[in-house]
Amino acid sequence: MPSRYAPDASDLALTQHPWRGKTIVELGSGTGLIGFLVAKLGVGCTTWITDQIPMLPLMEENAALNPDMVDPCHVAELNWGEPVPADVPAKPDVILMADCVYREEAFQPLVDTLCMMATATTEILFCYHKRRRADKRFFGLLKKHFHYDNVSDDNEVRRKAYQTSGTFLMRFTKR
C-alpha cells in the first residue's frame, strides 16, 4: 500500500496530492508502519494509527523512533465493533487497512467499524494477503455494505509483482 503513494518521478507533485488536507485513519495498524509512511510523504494530511490497547506502547515507541514525519501522526486506541473513540475522527476521508483479515471472530466487528466510519465518499484502501479459504466469509459480510475491487490505477509492474505473491490492494466503496 505505501508503495502506491511513495513518491517517484511519475507521481503527482506532493502539493497536489488528493490526500492534501484530508483525515486518514489506519485500522489495525500493528507497528504503525503504513501511517508513518503516509506522514513521511508530507502531502499535508493528518493521520491516526489505531489498534487495541496492548499495541499502543509499541506504536508510541515506533512513532518516537521516526521523528522525520512531516505531517502529524496520532496514536489512538480503536477496537473494531465498538464506538469510535472521541480522539479519532468518526468519519475520516480515508481509511487504510493492511493484513486485517486473519481472525474469523473479528470479521463482523471489522465490517461494523467500516460501516460506522465510512460515508459514500470515504476512500478505503485495503492491502490483503490471501492466505485461507475462510477469508471468503469476510468478503461475504463486506459485500452487504460495500462494493470492492482491486485497485487498477497502480503502477502495473509493481501491481503484477505483489499480486503474483498473493497480495492485493483493494478499494472499498460504501453502497
Residues forming the site for ligand SAM (CB under 6 A): 28-31, 51-52, 55, 79-80, 98-100, 102, 106, 109
Nearer to ligand SAM, 80 or 146 (CB): 80
b or e along 31-58 (b: 16 or more beta carbons within 10 Å of the residue's beta carbon)? ebbbbbbbbbbbbebbbbbbbeeebbee
The nearest distance, CB 29 to ligand SAM, in angstroms, is 5
Choice between 29 and 46, CB closer to ligand SAM = 29
Cα dist from 58 to 73, 74, 81, 97, 161, whole Å:
14, 13, 22, 18, 30
CB of 105 or CB of 156, closer to ligand SAM: 105
Q: Closest residue (Cβ) to ligand SAM? A: 30
- Terminal CA-to-CA distance of the chain, rounded, Å? 23
Least distance between ligand SAM and beta carbon 13 (Å): 28
